[in-house]
Amino acid sequence: MAAVVDPGKCVGCGSCESVCPVEAIKVQESVAKADESTCIECGACVSECPAEAISLP
């Protein structure tokens, strides 16, 4: 599994990209998306997201 982004809450700020230790999350078309094959479910993006748009399953 990977981090889950709620596109309705995501503001595309890129904070999650900057803290991901494995570069698994990218902002594309103003919405973040996590790569399931790369994400290690560390939660760094979850705690960094100012919009509370990211969660772990």
Query: Does the domain spanning 4-55 belong to CATH 3.30.70.20?
Result: yes
Q: What is the pLDDT of residue 55?
A: 97
**pLDDT recorded at residue 1:** 85
**54-55 vs 4-5, strand pairing mode:** antiparallel
Find out whether 39 and 53 touch, Cβ atoms under 8 Å. no
pTM, full prediction: 0.91
Residue ranges of the chain whose pLDDT lies below 50: none
Could you tell me the residue ranges of all domains in the chain?
A: 4-55
| C-alpha angle 34-47-35 in degrees, rounded to nearest 5 | 10
Report the distance separating Cα 12 and Cα 57, nearest Å: 21
Query: Do residues 46 and 2 lie in contact, with contact meaning Cβ atoms separated by under 8 Å?
Result: no
pLDDT of residue 27: 97
